[in-house]
Amino acid sequence: MSLQRPFVSAVLTAGLALTLVACGGDSTPESASSPSGTPSATPTPTPTASSSTPSVVPTTPPAPAPRTKATLTKALLALGDLPAGFAVDPETGGDDGTELSATGSKCAKLVQLFNAEATPGSKLGVHRGFSGGQNGPFVGETLEAMPSAAATTAYLATVKAAVKACPKAKLTIEGAGSSTVTVTEVAAPKAGTTPVAVRFAAASGPLEGLEVVFAFTGLGDVLLTMDFDRSDIEEPVVDAVAKASKVLGTSTGT
């Protein structure tokens, strides 16, 4: 879920697997007066601020360089950043046959975000997925260049509100079936800015046992999204934020 297709691909992968098997102060010289007739040393003039301090003209910092696919890709987690036993999943394109649906206006925004082909406003995105075997664990990471840091923050607020408004929805995975899933906001790792995390879980039906967790956070003008087929998300998210922040030159704090 950038609530987008890389996100949905992870749901499909995890769903099928389950169903089938982060100085001192300045001093002022005293003036000395000499007795009459006694020569005195000529005092040294004390420079004044107006004569010694050059005026400082504020400058506008240069705009950050545009994000590129190569830089975003370099900022993604690599195989060497994960524990032994993981492999990089092959990229898949096109419609993966996964869809979220719900009745009622409260879930409309979540459904819209989930089924979108790309994050609204995203200018560029890269994705990489990993699997620890046929039955997981599965981890996916997406980095997207947004128009600005404010746009990233606004999107995260939209996701948070959409999750809170929709406690249940129906998830359909082509080839596996449909189940009602509970939608729950969970504690997000404290990494990046305004992080949000959500869990989708099916307790019955064809997708019974499916659990997928998505974590979102901001890295300035870059949106980081990670997806997991289990709830142990703290360390991978913190590691992903640390690496991406170093490569992209963004803040890691919340």
CATH number of 5-19+66-248: 3.40.1000.70
Share of the chain above pLDDT 90, in %: 61
Q: What's residue 213's pLDDT? A: 96
Judge contact between 226 and 140, C-beta under 8 A.
yes
Q: What's residue 25's pLDDT? A: 42
Give the start-end residues of each E strand in the chain. Answer: 87-88, 98-101, 124-131, 138-145, 168-173, 177-186, 193-202, 211-219, 222-228
Mean pLDDT of the chain: 81
- pTM for this prediction: 0.76
Q: What's residue 22's pLDDT? A: 31
* 169-195: average pLDDT: 95
In tens, the pLDDT along 54-102 reads 555 555 545 556 899 999 999 999 999 999 999 999 876 555 678 999 9
d(CA 247, CA 73): 10
Burial class, 27, CB count within 10 angstroms (exposed 0-12 / middle 13-18 / buried 19+): exposed
Judge contact between 122 and 144, C-beta under 8 A.
yes
* 215-243: average pLDDT: 95
Per-residue pLDDT band for 231 (boundaries 50, 70, 90) equals confident
In tens, the pLDDT along 166-178 reads 999 999 999 999 9
Q: What's residue 23's pLDDT? A: 38
Beta bridge partners of 179: 171
Judge contact between 181 and 200, C-beta under 8 A.
yes
In tens, the pLDDT along 127-142 reads 999 999 888 899 999 9
